[in-house]
Amino acid sequence: MSLKIHNTISGDKEIFKPIEPGKIGMYQCGPTVYWTQHIGNMRAIVISDLINRSLQYLGNEVNFVRNVTDVGHLTGDDDSGADKIAKASEKDNKTPEEISSFYLKKFNEDAKKLNTLPPTNTPKATDHISEMINFITVLLEKGYAYETELAIYFDVSKAKDYTRLSKQDIDELITNAGSGEVTDKEKKSPQDFSLWFFKTGNHANAIQTWESPWGEGFPGWHLECSAMSKKYLGDHFDIHIGGIEHIPIHHTNEIAQSEAANGTEFVNYWVHNEHLLVDDGKMSKSEGTSYNLDDVMQKGFTPIDLRYFFLQAGYRSKQNFTWEALEASKTALSRLKRQLMSIESEGEILPEIKAEFIELIEDDFNLPQALALVSNVMKLDISDGDKKATILNFDKVLGLELDKEDVSEDIPEEIVLLAEKRKVAKQEKDFETADKIRDEISSHGYVVMDTDDGFKIEKK
């Protein structure tokens, strides 16, 4: 294996050397389950899936862990604000467990629709409170943490090379920490971060709390990932994946507390994905551009159309989402599937083309070029059977379900009739009526999608 990975902590593309040859431990910061994840979040999930598939394709056994945060993630990045789960619970008049269960189910459904492989383990924060308490106990015993009346904090001044991931200047960070209200007068430094919040002060009315040796409370968000990665991957593992927004605080704090508690290097390779833009701007709820997978499907696209779109940009590049770009992806994917389906039998996987594919994914997971190679294979002067066999082999990484026909389930007759009426309305350019019919179909639990041959109906 000649895999090279861009390592955020060094800033260089490095030759990948697993801790144990042929076996790779990989962790991804997963969803905070208080809302439906938008397509930017789902791009990160597809990216981790592509990396996981690539590593397996190269002959590795991957222990892929992606956590679920269902407590402790506050609305502020600096130990401030309300717990996101609790806030959603109050807003929707449901228990935290009902909120997290509902949105976790939705997330898992969306991830499956995007044809992502399930991780090896998906630990929930609330199922690992004892591991977090043990972690804090070690940090206190080693002198890396201290207790106040409001919380237990990690003492950043005792961390080794605290900002080596973010490359920030620690003195400048402390100077520019802000002049807002300091909620804990006993906190030694603005950079110290919470490991455990007590059920007092701003959190006196916290609705998710547990008993601990120091008092009733709940864990800090950063602590959760360190405790759960330790349980499922050990003190030291190969790859940690996440969005670039996690670099300066969340991942920096994970490194500090993990290396302090475990006495060893935390992670060898840090892999960070860039953001998804919409119409060249940041996704915004207020502007109606924070799209989720349901929005995509209601526009007549399939989740695999979206996956194809995601494949066209490298994980370290920003990607700009537009409906026109998604339409182009849909067209390209549909053409490719029709070409492959027209080939009756498979031939042989071409070793020289497979070697080229491997070279691309070993170059820091260059999936856009790997996808372009598929188009090049279709143009080669070789047998159609060999083309099909080779491309379907590549699809083990791409995950575009190129061997599956678009077959809809048995759909109720009334839904089909509604879809027919929508088709007529669109032909007559009565788009307002067409949209109303689409929404009515959606209210019955189905999605109608336009295709080159008319329309397709799927269950949500």
Condensed to tens digits (0 to 9), the pLDDT of residues 251-267 reads: 999 999 999 999 999 99
- Is this model's pTM higher than 0.85 or not? yes
Superfamily designation of domain 17-273: HUPs (3.40.50.620)
pLDDT band (50, 70, 90) for residue 408:
very low
Condensed to tens digits (0 to 9), the pLDDT of residues 124-148 reads: 999 999 999 999 999 999 999 999 9
Tokens found for residue 131: 């591991």
Contact 67, 250 (CB under 8 A): no
pLDDT band (50, 70, 90) for residue 181:
very low
CA distance 384 to 390: 10
Residue 235's contacts (CB-CB under 8 Å, 6 or more residues apart) are: 258, 262, 263, 264, 266
Which fold would CATH assign to domain 285-398?
Isoleucyl-tRNA Synthetase; Domain 1 (1.10.730)
Identify which has the larger pLDDT, 74 or 286. 74
Condensed to tens digits (0 to 9), the pLDDT of residues 48-70 reads: 999 999 999 999 999 999 999 99
β pairing state of 23-28 and 61-66: parallel
Tokens found for residue 311: 């494949």
pLDDT reading at 105 higher than 60: yes
Condensed to tens digits (0 to 9), the pLDDT of residues 361-391 reads: 999 999 999 999 999 999 999 999 999 999 9
Condensed to tens digits (0 to 9), the pLDDT of residues 84-97 reads: 999 999 999 999 99
Provide the b/e sequence for 69-91 (b: ≥16 CB within 10 Å): bbbbbbeeeebeebbbbbbbbee
CA distance 346 to 343: 8
Tokens found for residue 327: 């339409």
CA distance 458 to 39: 20
Residue 367's contacts (CB-CB under 8 Å, 6 or more residues apart) are: 50, 54, 311, 314, 315, 360, 361, 397, 398
